[in-house]
Amino acid sequence: MDSGQYLVFVLDGQYLAIPVDMVEQVIRAVALMRLPGGASDLVGLLDLHGEPVPVVDIRKRLGLAPVSLRADNAIVICRRGVAAAALVVDRVEAVVNFPCDEGASLPGKGAGCVSPVERLVRYGDHSVLVCSVNDLLGPLPKRAETARRLEAGVESPPLHPQGFGAAACALPAASGG
């Protein structure tokens, strides 16, 4: 079967991987804007060239204890359609090819299971949990979902794009191809 490239990273000593085609870039930890009343796993917002990107602490979704953002952390920015979101990791290890049929599916993964982990593979001496980016990051924020629907032509643009955010302002230029 085909192989796919995965970004392998470390979180609390555990090796995890996500498809590299979902990764836009990896940056060092930077100061984030806090959002009062934000979700418990929302670390803050990253200003990515004028685009507000929610940064999520995926530890909670993986059953790990939350920790504060540290200067030695990495932030992995993922793109889901027009929406960007980022996750905080301890460090990025490598980009690795894993055959698509390699690894063991996890017991109990299936109907009703909300685990972001899809399978278990080997990377050197380490076991790696291959995860779904969508399940790690959770549902798209309403603004991002609306932008995705605009891009797909399912919805009409708002009358005042500046009130919608950076994603809507970028759509006309992106859709003219």
Domain locations along the chain: 3-137, 142-174
Of 45-59, 62-76, 129-143, 157-171, the range with the lowest mean pLDDT is 157-171
CATH number for the region 3-137 comes to 2.40.50.180
Buried b (16+ CB within 10 A) or exposed e, 124-161: eeeebbbbebebbbbebbebbbbbbebbeeeeeeeeeb
d(CA 136, CA 115): 8
Backbone angles phi, psi at 143, to 5 degrees: -65, -45
Residue 72: per-residue pLDDT: 94
For range 100-106, the mean pLDDT:
61
Residue 162: per-residue pLDDT: 36
Cβ(46)–Cβ(31) under 8 Å? no
- Helices and strands, counts by H and E, the chain: 3, 11
Residue 165: per-residue pLDDT: 35
Of the candidates 114, 126, 107, the one whose C-alpha atom is nearest the C-alpha of residue 17 is: 126
**Over 80: is that where the pLDDT of 145 sits?**
no
**pTM beyond cutoff 0.85:** no
Please, which pLDDT band fits residue 173 given cuts at 50, 70 and 90?
A: very low
Better pLDDT: 4 or 170: 4
